[in-house]
A = this chain, B = another copy of it.
Amino acid sequence: MSANAITPVILGLLAMRPLSGYDIKAVVDRSTRFFWAASYGQIYPELRRLEAEGLVQGEDAPNGGRQRRVYSITPAGRKALVEWLLGRTVTIELRDESLLRLFFADALPKEQALLLLEGRKLGHEQYLAALRAIDARPGQDPEFVDLVLRWGISYNEWGAQWCQQQLDRLRNETKAA
């Protein structure tokens, strides 16, 4: 399997149930997008490539006159998915602009630098609200899908708390000095 970034996403989602390219995009936008995004420009060509490799199989399933092609995973596709799941992890990339700002915040007066920390805290809280809205259906999802959602919630709770702690610490230092 010569993979690119969405390959495992497609195989992983199709391993749960058959989906069209459109469906895949919609599911990604509600789930993995938080740590792994995807666009049509990747999905459709990749579905065709995976079908040519025999890892997925497409079937025309129009809704009335509206064309629609639904893909299922093949046994070979399942095998490729498991191999990827058990292979060695490489990518743990974090691209966090708010953290970058914090890193350079010494260029600001202390007051304004603390504002950046408050902004970051707010970001975590908003993210948290979005994830909790998704969490409205307990027990609906497969166990590990749910686990990752919990991760997102815990991470943002932790992140907001961390910001608050640092705000308290830095404000005390300022006062003490």
Contacts and interface: CB of A to CB of B under 8 A. Distances in A.
A101 interface: yes
Nearest to A11: B104
A148 B105 CA distance: 10
A162 interface: yes
A170 B78 CA distance: 24
Interface in A119-168: 119-120, 123, 127, 142-145, 147-148, 150-151, 154-155, 158, 162, 166
A141 to B, nearest CB: 9
A113 interface: yes
Copies in the complex: 2
A156 to B, nearest CB: 10
A89 B85 contact: no
B32 A100 contact: yes
Contacts of A106: 16, 142-145
A52 interface: no
A116 B150 CA distance: 16
Contact of A147 (B15, B143, B166): B166
Given A8-B100, A34-B94, 11 more contacts: A8-B104, A36-B99, A82-B107, A85-B104, A86-B112, A89-B97, A94-B96, A105-B147, A106-B143, A150-B166, A155-B158
13 contacts: A12-B107, A32-B103, A35-B99, A82-B108, A84-B101, A86-B112, A92-B123, A95-B95, A106-B143, A106-B145, A143-B170, A147-B166, A154-B162
Closest 7 CB pairs of A and B: A12-B104, A91-B97, A105-B144, A106-B142, A93-B95, A35-B94, A103-B148
